[in-house]
Amino acid sequence: MQADALEVARTTKGFLDEDEGTRLYELARDHASIGPIVEVGSYCGKSSVYVGSGARTGGGTLVCVDHHRGNEEQQRGELYHDPDVYDDEAGQVDSLRFLRHSIRRAALEHTAILMVTSSAAAARLCPDELGMVFIDGGHTHEAANADYELWSGKVARSGILAIHDLFPNPEEGGQAPIEIYRRAVASGNFDELPTVKTLGVLRRK
């Protein structure tokens, strides 16, 4: 990955390990020619910089889907709340300006399309036959399963479904992401590729 983009990713707020990010970059680069790449849950753009840089190198497009009001763990009083990412006037989380800043710094304004809306509304508008879908949105059982149902069928043959925050040990993290990963495997529609830390990677058959 280009050094300048990597530096942007390193200095962007977020919750993504560099090895995971580098793998996302490679996956996006190698599958961008199949179809658009969708990221569900962009927040301030840390993963968007990795995925978008890969999409750009591969000659494709990244669609960043996020309502930017924060997930359940980012609300006031919750574990991952960041007061910087809060709009006092609106009385709500607002990560959009951070994402836009990251996209500009990484020179991805011609690669990334920002969809500021719910996952469900975005899925209604996005085409089928996606080159890759990266699910890193809400981590409740309900939100993660909804994202799986909305997006997994849109991955083109030979395309990638990547899921963040897999914790085989329940004491290390929430179980919703690994639950949908297992659902995808059980569907018989995907082959498992090696996991990178907490990043699960599946290839559509």
Q: In whole angstroms, give the CA distance from residue 56 to residue 28.
A: 9
- Within 134-163, which residues bind Mg ion (CB under 5 A)? 136
Measured at CB, which residue is nearest to Mg ion? 164
165, 176, 196, 199: which one binds Mg ion (CB under 5 A): 165
Q: How far is the CB of 59 from Mg ion (least distance, A)?
A: 27
Binding of Mg ion at residue 164 (CB under 5 A)? yes
Binding of Mg ion at residue 39 (CB under 5 A)? no
Binding of Mg ion at residue 203 (CB under 5 A)? no
164 is catalytic: no
Closest CA to 41 of 72, 10, 19, 17: 72
Alpha helices in the chain (DSSP H): 3-10, 18-31, 46-57, 96-105, 119-125, 141-151, 176-187
Q: In whole angstroms, give the CA distance from residue 201 to residue 83.
A: 32
Q: Which of 68, 139, 141, 164 is catalytic?
A: 139
Strands 130-135 and 112-115, bridge-based pairing: unpaired
**How many residues touch Mg ion (CB under 5 A)?**
3
The residues that are catalytic are 139
| Contact set with Mg ion (CB under 5 A) | 136, 164-165
